[in-house]
Amino acid sequence: MMHASYDDIAGWYDSYLNENSVYSEVILPSLLELVGDVQDCTICDLACGQGWFARELAKRGARVTGIDISDRLLELARQYELQQPRGITYQRDDARSALSLPEDTFEGIVCVLSLMDIPDIQAVFQTARRILQPGGWLVFAITHPCFELPDARWITDEHGQVARAVTGYFKEGNWKSERGGVRSRVGAHHRMLSTYLNALVSANFTLERVLEPTATGERADKVPGNREVPSFLFIRARLL
């Protein structure tokens, strides 16, 4: 995560996570499906933010260490830990290097909706490779690179069918949304799907599973197009 960007919006971001139904209805179930049984597992939450998913893992019996570059988000994470202790350790560190974390430490790593904030994803995957135990797993979530990009928009045809119009997919780079939400405040790095997958393979990971969930409930009511086109992509990979 970008230090200044998230420090400036930490309070707003914390409220947004707690109030936005997409996290409970779409993102959380998909993540839990991919991580599976985490009882007694040692897990690192890379770019953990205010710790919302770290807490979900700890509730399910995992031993969690979270790192983030934002002091304000870490303050919020530690406040949650004080209010309801779950044994989570939070450290200030950069997911591109994680110098405070020793090699071959974790059975699993999660990185939730953070890779779009980080300029060098290859460095993040190399960090994951270094701190994972042999055969360890990595689960990450990103906004879907095929459908969430600068010039993408929802359209409705003459029959009322909602579709996603996409242009500029091959033009990678930083952008900022004009439609509200997190990406209107801190921006994002758009990358092609192949860029993510090739970086993952270059770090010696093999793909195990991919989820592209459809929206239901309140999220589907708010964004009807998500019944047809996913906004998020979830990937599970394993270190060779």
What is the mean pLDDT of the segment spanning 176-194?
A: 86
- Distance separating alpha carbons of residues 202 and 92, to the nearest angstrom: 27
- Distance separating alpha carbons of residues 80 and 51, to the nearest angstrom: 8
Q: Cα torsion at 137, 142, 145, 147 (round to 10°)?
A: 130
3-239: CATH topology: Rossmann fold (3.40.50)
pTM of the full structure: 0.94
Phi and psi at residue 180, to the nearest 5°:
85, 180
- The domain locations on the chain are 3-239
DSSP states of 76-93 as a string?
HHHHHHHHS----EEEE-
Q: What is the pLDDT of residues 143-153, one digit of tens each?
A: 999 999 988 99
Q: What is the pLDDT of residues 35-52, one digit of tens each?
A: 999 999 999 999 999 999
Q: What is the pLDDT of residues 154-171, one digit of tens each?
A: 999 888 899 999 999 999
Q: Which residues pair with 64 in a beta bridge?
A: 43
What is the mean pLDDT of the segment spanning 2-31?
A: 87
Contact in structure between 120 and 128 (CB atoms under 8 Å): no
Q: Which pLDDT does position 178 carry in this prediction? A: 75
